[in-house]
Structure 1
Amino acid sequence: MTTRPPFTPQFDFHLSRPGALIAALPAVLGFVPHNSLVLVTLDRGELGCVLRADLDDEMTDRVERLAELAAMAGADAVIAVIVDEASTGCRACDDRYGELASILELALSADGVELYAAHVVDQVALGGHWHCADGCGAEGQVEDPAASPLAAAAVLDGRRLYASREELLQVIEPDPVAGGSMARELATVAGRSAAVERSDVDVRRDVEAAITAALRLADGAVPDSAELVRLGDSLTDPRIRDTLYALAIGGCAEPAECLWGLLARNLPDPWRVEALVLLAFSAYARGDGPLAGVSLDAALRAVPTHRMAGMLDTALQSGMHPERIRELAVTGYRLATQLGVQLPPRRLWGRRAG
């Protein structure tokens, strides 16, 4: 329901310019919002985290949850943006928007947060038309999202901007054919693994195999189904999985993240969950809250009690900075040292790395 990046760089643009603020939403969310209620939180006048929910006929529960999250993030004020293609020239819609803004204002005030402004926009694109939700008469056009300072920062940080949330979800969309064909083989392999505990030599071999697979994938060599099965089975061992979290802050972070995405799309549940959490950790560590969020949502739907997924989701919802998440990956380097595994050297993160 909600997408929120853990950290947003600060830029000198005016929050009082709705056209500029709306244009910045795709860069912050990671995708262009459609049919959405978006809350931009403010902390002492500066841009904070951004929350999003699908528009629906019954919004009360969603509004209350968004208000709760805004308060948890330490917001003192919120700007609401209602994205609805049907908004232009729709008088009945204006009444609905005004009612939604009133419900939101009431929910926010219960948590001590002010609704600073509420805008309605037909599309988050150059030339899109916005107007205020309370009938104040203010209106204007959306500036170019591609020219937003936040969009420039996202490109410099290597973050991909998606045309829609649906396109973002395709990164982790499971392949039922591939998953189905591997399910029986994985169950057999997992049964053998459970019967014989992995030795340190086996763990070291499997960690090195995952690193090799990631580097080969970066060179265009896609693992076959047998290799995917071996990788998927190895991720169920906590020592292997906890060591591999370190790759998120190392020299092969990008290839490793591509491998976790490939595994998340091809493995069946429950093996897929470990790949999703590794993907979420990697995305969160580099500041890609949207990808981390959808990955964690999928993981927790499959295994609601997954400890790491729950911890990361709590951190993401509370707005914890990626730098704090990167600190967790250091444990993986300590485990690697104990196992005798040589991991890629740690990266030096610049000011925009998260």
Structure 2
Amino acid sequence: MTTSPFSREFESSDDQAQSWASRESEHLSEPGELIAAIPALMGFSPEDSVVALCLMDTTPKTLGPIMRHDYFPNIGSELAPAMHSALEQFVRVCATEGTVAVILVMIGDHPLGELFDIAAEFNDMLTGNGVELVDVFAVPVIARGRDWMSILAPDRHGRLPDPGSSSVAAAQVLGGRVIRASRSELVRSVRGQSSNHATIGSLIDRGRAQIASARCEAHCSNDPFAQVRREVEEVLAFVERMRRGVFPDARECAHLALVLSDVRVRDTVMGLAATEYADSAEALWMILTHELPVPECSYPATLLGFFAYARGDGPLAGIALAYALEADPEYSLAGLLDNSLQAGMRPDGIRRLAEVGLDLARDFDVSAMPEAR
């Protein structure tokens, strides 16, 4: 791992695709089908990567979290320190998850000797933790017709089917998840390229005094939560507009940035992740992440990361949280979520924060907050 908050090489995914994959275990028991399903499981097609598929049994029928890390070539005859650290991180997550076995897939045009070295090192690490390495596959790129082979049994080989035609890909597309062509495409989808940053930044600066005054007045009133309630309800109104396909303009984006700067508002709207408004709210966070300048983009980027994390989309969550920390390295919630993601905490543990948000909505008497689904 590097120390930069943005250039993360590790992602994990643990979402509804795994349950679909379990139902398709008859097909995924074929190595080619399993390798071809990786882009759908990850949400993008990995390149020059090492992918570990956790099994809660010794067959793909019990597929668990999927982990990916950049591939690092050997330094001389030794594994690169970054590659060794990546394997250690895989093993830590396996231990946390109670993984029984692992299938390793190495993607890229790499020397066979290096692949053997990585496989041997990973096997030793897993064996020491009571986890079986079921097989290790190598493929230059995940694309139709490309050759794959087993590192452990070279006589096992074949050609990949079309990744876009896999049953897991179909399930993801029907579920509304976009499968990106590459990780860099997923990064661009988060960072965006807005021409409004300067304009919105000026609007934010001009609005600070007004919202600070409103909050001060509310704090001194008989109803200290009145302003928080109003601001949460404003966010809910924008989420409702997103459901109808109406996007916020520059002035509204600036206002939302100021609203989300209050951690009470932010923490409350996290509750939307547990409601039927989750998809629309996540779409709003994506737009705001594009449109808001630094450092204000850290607020919606963190929410985007949380919503993606809560539904099991680790790659999107990691990229969004890394961007939030790049914009504001001291933004504590982004750091907390990012640390949890890197440590392999399951989405169901993070989803408890959405329940806290719903509790806050009740405490603040936000009548417009939808019920948990």
| Per-residue deviation, residues 50-81 of structure 1 (Å, max 9, x unmatched) | 11011233323333333333333322322111
Question: Counterpart of 1:108?
Answer: 126
* Displacement after TM superposition at 1:40 (Å): 0.9
For the pair 1:2 / 2:17, whether they are aligned, the reply is no
3-state SS of 1:329 partner: helix
Deviates more, 1:101-110 or 1:72-81: 101-110
CA contact (8 A) 1:32 1:162 kept: yes
Deviates more, 1:187-196 or 1:260-269: 187-196
Question: Counterpart of 2:30?
Answer: 17
* Displacement after TM superposition at 1:24 (Å): 1.4
1:36 to 49, 56, 67: 49
Q: Structure 1's 327 and 51: CA in aligned 2 closer, same or farther, altered over 3 A?
A: same
Q: Structure 1's 301 and 11: CA in aligned 2 closer, same or farther, altered over 3 A?
A: farther
CA contact (8 A) 2:93 2:344 kept: no
CA contact (8 A) 1:5 1:316 kept: no
* Displacement after TM superposition at 1:332 (Å): 2.3
Question: Counterpart of 1:142?
Answer: 160
3-state SS of 2:233 partner: helix
CA contact (8 A) 1:40 1:78 kept: yes
3-state SS of 1:126 partner: coil
CA contact (8 A) 1:68 1:108 kept: no
3-state SS of 2:191 partner: coil
* Displacement after TM superposition at 1:109 (Å): 3.4
**Aligned 1:278-289 pairs, distance under 5 A:** 278-289=303-314
Question: Counterpart of 1:80?
Answer: 104
CA contact (8 A) 1:11 1:149 kept: no
Given residue 41 of structure 1, which amino acid in structure 2 is its aligned partner? C
3-state SS of 1:271 partner: coil
User: Following the alignment from structure 1 to structure 2, what is the Cα–Cα distance between the partners of residues 64 and 340?
Assistant: 47
| Per-residue deviation, residues 195-238 of structure 1 (Å, max 9, x unmatched) | 76452332222222222222323434332222111111111111
Aligned residues: 342
**Runs (4+) off by over 6 Å:** none
Given residue 52 of structure 1, which amino acid in structure 2 is its aligned partner? R
Deviates more, 1:306-315 or 1:139-148: 306-315
List alignment gaps of at least 5 residues for structure 1.
88-92, 349-354
List alignment gaps of at least 5 residues for structure 2.
1-8, 74-79, 219-224
**Aligned 1:1-354 pairs, distance under 5 A:** 1-7=9-15, 8-9=18-19, 10-14=22-26, 16-45=29-58, 46-57=62-73, 58=80, 59-84=83-108, 86=109, 93-134=111-152, 136-175=154-193, 177-187=195-205, 189-190=207-208, 193=211, 197-198=215-216, 199=218, 200-317=225-342, 319-346=344-371, 348=373
User: Following the alignment from structure 2 to structure 1, what is the Cα–Cα distance between the partners of residues 199 and 349?
Assistant: 39
Given residue 23 of structure 2, which amino acid in structure 1 is its aligned partner? F
Given residue 142 of structure 1, which amino acid in structure 2 is its aligned partner? L
* Displacement after TM superposition at 1:193 (Å): 4.8
User: Following the alignment from structure 1 to structure 2, what is the Cα–Cα distance between the partners of residues 102 and 221?
Assistant: 54
| Per-residue deviation, residues 67-97 of structure 1 (Å, max 9, x unmatched) | 333333322322111111x36xxxxx21222
* Displacement after TM superposition at 1:339 (Å): 2.8
User: Following the alignment from structure 1 to structure 2, what is the Cα–Cα distance between the partners of residues 300 and 75?
Assistant: 30
Aligned-residue RMSD, C-alpha? 2.6
Q: Structure 1's 314 and 150: CA in aligned 2 closer, same or farther, altered over 3 A?
A: farther
TM score, norm. by length of structure 1: 0.85
3-state SS of 1:3 partner: strand
User: Following the alignment from structure 2 to structure 1, what is the Cα–Cα distance between the partners of residues 147 and 232?
Assistant: 52
* Displacement after TM superposition at 1:25 (Å): 0.7
* Displacement after TM superposition at 1:119 (Å): 0.8
TM score, norm. by length of structure 2: 0.81
Given residue 127 of structure 1, which amino acid in structure 2 is its aligned partner? G
Q: Structure 1's 12 and 344: CA in aligned 2 closer, same or farther, altered over 3 A?
A: same
Q: Structure 1's 64 and 96: CA in aligned 2 closer, same or farther, altered over 3 A?
A: same
